[in-house]
Amino acid sequence: ARAEIGVTGLAVMGSNLARNFASKGFVTAVHNRTQARTDALIAEHGGDGDFVPSTSAEEFVASLVKPRRIVIMVKAGGPTDAVIDELAPLLEDGDILIDGGNAKFQDTRRREAALREQGIHFVGCGISGGEEGALLGPSIMPGGSKESYDSLGPMLEKISAHVDGEPCCTHIGTDGAGHFVKMVHNGIEYADMQLIAEAYDLLRRGAGLTPAELADVFAEWNRGDLDSFLIEITAEVLKQVDAETGQPFIDVVVDAAGMKGTGTWTVQNALDLGVPVSGIAEAVFARGLSSLAEQRAASKDLPGPAAAGSVDDRDAFVEDVRLALYASKIVAYAQGLDEIIAGAEEFGWDIDLGAVARIWRGGCIIRAKFLNRITEAYDSAAQQPASLLLAPYFTDAIAGTQDAWRRTVVFAATNGIPAPGFSTALAYYDGLRSERLPAALIQGQRDFFGAHTYRRVDRDGSFHTLWSGDRSEVATD
Ligand code: 6PG
C-alpha cells in the first residue's frame, strides 16, 4: 500500500478532485463503481500525477496507507450510504472516510455517529467551487472529529484555494458542522444570485439597458465593493451571444430556474431554528415561481401599475441599483451567518465565523472581496457583533446605501417589476431597526383567541386579559 489519499466516485467533481490531489504530489488511489471511468481518468490524466487505479473496493482499500483516507464523491443520499456500506467493513480503527458531496447535515450526523461506533472517523466535508474549483482549488469545509483533521487537514489545505497565502480550508466543527456550513453557503449563493438577477431585471426592464450594456455595467461593478465571482460570471453570461440565432444568450434561455435542494434545506433548517433568513427564502421562492409555467402563462393579463415611472438619469439609476444590491447582499450574508450561529448553538459546534468568512474568500461560488471585511468584523471585535449589520464597517456601508436602496424598491413596486430579494432585505433591515414592532398586536390577538398570554414592558411575568369576561388582567405565573 502506498496511496496517501483515495477518491471513489469519478464523475467530474470526483476526477477533478483526484487530479487536484495528484497534482499536489499526493499518491492518489482512484476507484469507481463502473471501471470505465477509472480507465478514462488514467488514460487522459494518468501522466499528470501518481495515481493508483483499482478495479474493486477491496483493491482500492488495500492500496491505501494507514490510517486510510478516502474521499467519497458520489451523489448525495442513497448512493453515499451504499458506498459507506461497501467500504466500512473493509476499514480499520482510525481510518477516515470523507463525504465530499452536498449531503444533508442530518445525514452526516447520523453517519458520523454510526461509523464512530466502528472506530472510523467520518468527515462530512463541504466542497465548493464547481468543477474548476475541484481541480484547481476549492473552498473546503470539513466537519468531523478534531483528531481526523490533524491527519487530513494538511492535505485538504494543500489542495484548497489560497488567498493571501492562506488556505481556504479550516476545521469547521464536529460531526455535521462542515455540511451545515456548506448548506448555508449554498443558501447565501441562492440569495446572491437572486439579487444579481433582480438588478439585471430592473436595469433591463426599468431602464432599457441591453444585455451587452449590462455586461459592461456588471464588469464595472466587479471593480468595486461588489467584486465577486458571481458578478464576474454575470458579465460573462450577459456578454454571450447565441451562435444559432445571433440573439443575446440570455434571451434564448428558458426563464425557469432549477435547483437541487440545498437552498431549500437552508430555509427549512432556518425555520426549525427560528432564524429569519428572508433573503434566502425569497430566493428559493423566486426560483419556484419562475418554474410555475402554467400559472405564469395564465397570469399574463393580470393588471399591473397604470403608469410606470421612467428613468431620467440612467447613470444615477444604475448607481441606485448597485447600492441596493450591495445592501441586500450584506443582509443576506448577515442572515446566513445568523443561521450558522443558531446551528452551532443547537448542535454544540464551536464555529469561528471569522474563519468561515476567511475560507469563503477563494475557491467557492460566493467568493467575494467583501468577505475580508466579514472576517475583520468577527476577528477584530472584542465581542461578536449581534448581527453582521452591527459591525461598524457594515453599518457604515449600509448607511451609505439608504436612499438608493429605498428608491430602488419603490421603483420596482411602482413599475411592477418583481424585486422580492431587494424588498425583503429592506423590510428585514427596517424590522431590526424598529424600536417597536406590531408584534405587540399579534400577542394581543393570540391572547384574545387562545389565551396564549403576553409579557408586559413594565414588569416581569406572563399575563392574560379576560377578553370575554370583564377584561381585567391576570398574572399567569
Ligand atoms: C458549489 C455549488 C454547488 C452546486 C450548487 C448548485 O458550492 O460549488 O454550490 O454545490 O453547484 O449546489 O445548486 P442548485 O442546482 O440547487 O442551484
Residue 365 CB less than 6 A away from ligand 1? yes
- Cα–Cα distance measured from residue 262 to residue 63, given in angstroms and rounded to the nearest whole number: 34
- Report cis status (omega within 30 of 0) of the bond before 67: yes
* pTM of this structure: 0.96
Predicted local confidence at residue 464, as pLDDT: 98
Mean pLDDT, range 407-423, rounded to an integer: 97
Contact 463, 475 (CB under 8 A): yes
**Cα 184 to ligand 1 centre (Å):** 11
Residue 130 CB less than 6 A away from ligand 1? yes
For residue 83, name the pLDDT band (cuts at 50, 70, 90).
very high
Residues serving a catalytic function are 182, 189
Residue numbering of the annotated binding site for substrate: 102, 128-130, 185-186, 190, 260, 287, 446, 452
Residue 128 CB less than 6 A away from ligand 1? yes
Which atom belonging to ligand 1 lies closest to the Cα atom of 182? 7
Residue numbering of the annotated binding site: 9-14, 32-34, 74-76, 102, 128-130, 185-186, 190, 260, 287, 446, 452
Predicted local confidence at residue 383, as pLDDT: 81
Residue the block writes with cell 475560507: 359
Check pLDDT > 90 for residue 470. yes
Pocket test for ligand 1, best of 12, 13, 193, 262 (most atoms within 8 A of CB): 262
Contact 120, 88 (CB under 8 A): yes
Is the ipTM value over 0.90, yes or no? Answer: yes
Burial class of residue 155 (count of CB atoms within 10 Å of its CB; 0-12, 13-18, 19+): middle
**Cα 174 to ligand 1 centre (Å):** 23
Residue 121 contacts by C-beta under 8 Å, 6 or more apart in sequence?
94, 95, 96, 97, 115, 144, 145, 147, 148
All three cell numbers of 98, joined, read 470523507
Residue 364 CB less than 6 A away from ligand 1? yes
- The dihedral built from the CA positions of residue 372, 373, 379 and 385, taken in this order, carries a sign that is negative
For residue 309, name the pLDDT band (cuts at 50, 70, 90).
confident
Query: What are the tens digits of pLDDT across the range 118-147?
Result: 999 999 999 999 999 999 999 999 999 999
129: left (phi over 0), alpha (psi -120 to 50) or beta: left
For residue 87, name the pLDDT band (cuts at 50, 70, 90).
very high
Distances in whole angstroms, Cα of residue 150 to Cα of each of 144, 147, 153, 259: 11, 5, 6, 35
**Cα 186 to ligand 1 centre (Å):** 6
Residue numbering of the annotated binding site for NADP(+): 9-14, 32-34, 74-76, 102
**Cα 344 to ligand 1 centre (Å):** 23
